[in-house]
Structure 1
Amino acid sequence: MMERTTIIQKCGRLRSCLALAVFSCLAGCGGSAVEADLLQPRVLAATFPRQLALARANWAAKGLSSYRFTVQVRCFCLEENTRPVTVTVREGATDAPTRLSAFGTIEKVFETLEAAGMSNANVLEVNFTADGWPSTSSVDPRADTSDDEYNLTISEVRPL
């Protein structure tokens, strides 16, 4: 059973237009607390820290310091960099290639996703398994930058 956590943040003109429309609609309703909540830039991502903490706790409960998993990054990059790679982690040390250093352990994947959330990524969508590891992720760090988005798939996580 997979738990789906979706966090989508949109920046730029769309958010400004939406905020103006919401503010205009609420102006006559006298809901100043509601207005303040709706106009916060990270409202849609409010549950991400809690979901990430829960997933990390589920992963930590497994107690795995040695495991193997497959990671695949899809991005606007060389095809050879998008092929699935099987990574072995032994007592926290990884054999992941340098290009996958941000995804070389499940803990590193958590850190990378947390950094994306903290940096107010334009789009951040994460699916966690019941065991806690993030199975799929879509990240678009900046709305105003082309070809910086990437998708991450983690599969076949097995203890050694």
Structure 2
Amino acid sequence: MNADLDHIVFRAARGEDLPGILAFWAQAAENQARPADNIAVLAALLERDADALDLAAYDGGVVGTLISGWDGWRAHLYRLAVRPDLRGRGIAAELLRRAEARLAALGAARLDAMVLEQNGLGQSFWATAGFSAQPEWRRWVRSVE
């Protein structure tokens, strides 16, 4: 990382971080084609798994996030986002390194990352990190009513 980012703190998110994370995602994350995020949903995530949402903090604000979900069988990575003006400096790579170590310690043998089709920057990152698209699978979704 560049010298000006030496003071980035990587840690699990806490309840008091949630408003800042939502504001961060509004500016730095892919938000289309997904249900709206809110404090209650994020609080429930942290209650279920206090280490699932990793963040990078710098100069008093959130500059990166990655959720690493583990259901006891599969490991899922999603909501990788880095503040646009800080991309390309190793923040996403460090968030991924931390998530991979956490998930491996929980017993994960394989990781999957959810990336929107039109997110070329995201696809490039995941490919560089050694992930590959799995064309034989299609994700099916339905909202809970």
Q: Do they superpose with TM above 0.5? A: no
TM-score bucket (shorter structure): 0.3 to 0.5
Q: Larger radius of gyration, structure 1 or 2? A: 1
Larger RCO (alpha carbons 8 Å, 6+ apart): 1
TM-score, length basis structure 2: 0.36
TM-score, length basis structure 1: 0.33
